[in-house]
Structure 1
């Protein structure tokens, strides 16, 4: 890309261009919000995205998945291919916002703002298409299903969505940041998410004769508290680890000590070394506690999504774009939440950022809202990020 081309891009009034699109993006976002679809059920959402892109003469690429959209804007000059990703699924949450465009589907809601992500990336797609004559390379658009299940990114990868991609960029709205502010940080931003099941085996009996039984409920209750030492006493205080037991099932009636109790939970970590150590730590602690009660345990471990780990050079690309738009950039505070954007980053460099949306509640809350004005800096930022990315990265 020549200096002249870069200057043309930098001097374009991108926020003004984005603001001109605002009514159209709001209309699209609200339509998705009214009609949320759960993971791998995003049939109408997929159709609407395709229709929007086709109306803008943006090329739809083949994607061997029942839901999700892959599209591409090819520049006038040769160069690398950059990817912009949005997730498109909703949650099984009953909306309580009272908004005039609230969900019309009982028990389903865009309570995580994926409708916002989708609309913002569509805005960037429109701006990039209108200026494709200046592009040195191509911009691929990934509208990914099933982020909430943590399976959509891997499905997109297996379908070939990353082929030829040099770098990828994505975002999550952040209700606690004001509109016009973004959070950026290199390195770990969101935790890996793994699951576990601990089955505690005791000996059933009569509730009136506990000495003749081995009560798995008592042993399991001690394990719930005891496994917290995997964080407080077995892990460095400089490593962020969260262990949560979220399900406890035992027994069938009020006067019978059962044979077994089952605990289900999640472990969230930020470093691969710590992640790999956690199954053995939980096994060791649970086994020791159970043995003290005469019980035994079986631990099952379910590997989930890895850590969102931002590439420093990719972060710099976004920072440069944000500076060009005069957005406020703050240090991103890491979240123990998980994001399957991490699967893309295992394959290619990428940056995941926080986009300030000035909302009232946190993600997944039934009263979750956001300030739609954030669509303006959102679309502009990803437009300029793509341009800077094409200029900075090497072709795959």
Structure 2
């Protein structure tokens, strides 16, 4: 198949994937579609019985270095509001982050590489459950990537014109965490506040003072945030409740800052509760670490874009979470975005990608894999 035929095949698959979104961990039909596609084109797959959804394909003779390309395949619980003729057929589910585009890009890359004489191995990682941060760790548990030399993660971007390649060395996405501060007081009738220990005041004070961790405790040149997104206390206008809570998310580029914010928020919640005569419970859950693009391979990814005469942009600061970072804790890797045309941003019900970008994404992915194998063979011979 020539590149035009591959693009047409990928576009047809893209329409199917966009119409049939499946949420994290539920990508059963998505997985079957990918398996059937790879099998029908004679592309081998690893045996991964512990991976409930998702697929890992492979190409090459297996005698040289190993390169992996990862895409994600899950959708979001969002009601699509685009006017696309191929919009989601499933109520309340949408590919609002471009994972349908990622999947078919990797399928197209597989077809483009299928007849190449590959001295080594190219692993095709169709990863499930990126949105809940479980998928990459499940893939790593299979052991399939234990001897992988470098991994590339491909992701669309609605902030750039079609075909733009975006990456940079070092941190590109932030480390994430979620927290919940629960305040216990004493309830009373609202007309007798002197008999209460008011959790509404504790929650309110925590919401206001939580922001001082960023504005007064962290280096102002460090990228980090605390977003309190859900507060709750009470059910009636004339009752002071016994309990209340505030919860939200933390983002930070530096792991030390994420740990520091955790300790400060805990201390604030406990101190505020004591000041009002109540008690506090502080709950914290780490999400993904910050992505950490290998400097040498990030320059390589940029150079391959320029060699193909694709537009290139240095990635801006971004505190969005990305579970590709779990791969990078074990394997040198680079997270790369591809501009798919300007549109409402990811996770928006009107988000869309320009499927014509499959031309650039498949071309770039194929080149990236072959050039990386060549580079690794050169290193070995040195």
Q: By the TM > 0.5 criterion, same fold?
A: yes
Q: Distance in 1 between matches of 2:213 and 2:183?
A: 18
Q: Distance in 1 between matches of 2:291 and 2:136?
A: 12
Deviation, 1:374, is 1.1
Tell me which of 353, 360, 374 is aligned to 1:391: 374
Map of 2:64 onto structure 1:
79
Unmatched runs of 5 consecutive residues or more in structure 1: 1-15
Tell me which of 218, 222, 225 is aligned to 2:208: 225
Count how many residue pairs are aligned between Structure 1 and Structure 2: 377
The answer to whether the aligner puts 1:362 opposite 2:345 as a matched pair is yes
Judge conservation of contact 1:251–1:260 (CA < 8 Å) in 2: yes
Tell me which of 97, 100, 106 is aligned to 1:115: 100
Q: Distance in 2 between matches of 1:361 and 1:194?
A: 25
Deviation, 1:298, is 1.5
Q: Distance in 2 between matches of 1:39 and 1:18?
A: 31
Q: Distance in 2 between matches of 1:290 and 1:239?
A: 29
Query: SS in structure 1 opposite 2:70?
Result: strand
Query: SS in structure 1 opposite 2:34?
Result: helix
Map of 1:351 onto structure 2:
334
Q: Distance in 2 between matches of 1:150 and 1:104?
A: 25
Map of 1:271 onto structure 2:
254
**Between 144-153 and 288-297, the greater mean CA deviation after superposition:** 288-297
Q: Distance in 2 between matches of 1:369 and 1:308?
A: 25
Moved over 6 A (4+): none
Judge conservation of contact 1:142–1:161 (CA < 8 Å) in 2: no
Deviation, 1:20, is 3.6
**Between 291-300 and 377-386, the greater mean CA deviation after superposition:** 291-300
Query: SS in structure 1 opposite 2:65?
Result: strand
Judge conservation of contact 1:215–1:257 (CA < 8 Å) in 2: yes
Q: 1:1-396 residue pairs with structure 2 within 5 A?
A: 17-64=2-49, 65-75=51-61, 78-131=63-116, 133=117, 135-393=118-376
Change (3 A) 1:19 1:332: farther
Cα RMSD of the aligned pairs, angstroms, is 1.5
Deviation, 1:17, is 4.7
Judge conservation of contact 1:317–1:392 (CA < 8 Å) in 2: no
User: Deviations for 1:77-133, whole angstroms, at most 9, x for unmatched residues?
Assistant: 8320000001000011011102110000011000100000011111111111121x1
Judge conservation of contact 2:69–2:154 (CA < 8 Å) in 1: no
Judge conservation of contact 1:226–1:286 (CA < 8 Å) in 2: no
User: Deviations for 1:341-381, whole angstroms, at most 9, x for unmatched residues?
Assistant: 11000001000011101131111111111111111111111
Query: SS in structure 2 opposite 1:136?
Result: coil
Judge conservation of contact 2:343–2:352 (CA < 8 Å) in 1: yes
**Between 155-164 and 34-43, the greater mean CA deviation after superposition:** 155-164
User: Deviations for 1:24-49, whole angstroms, at most 9, x for unmatched residues?
Assistant: 11110110110111111101100111
Query: SS in structure 1 opposite 2:281?
Result: strand
Q: Distance in 1 between matches of 2:358 and 2:211?
A: 41
Q: Distance in 2 between matches of 1:377 and 1:53?
A: 21
Deviation, 1:337, is 0.9
Judge conservation of contact 2:165–2:302 (CA < 8 Å) in 1: no
Q: What TM-score comes out, normalization by structure 1 length?
A: 0.92
Q: What TM-score comes out, normalization by structure 2 length?
A: 0.95
Deviation, 1:263, is 1.3
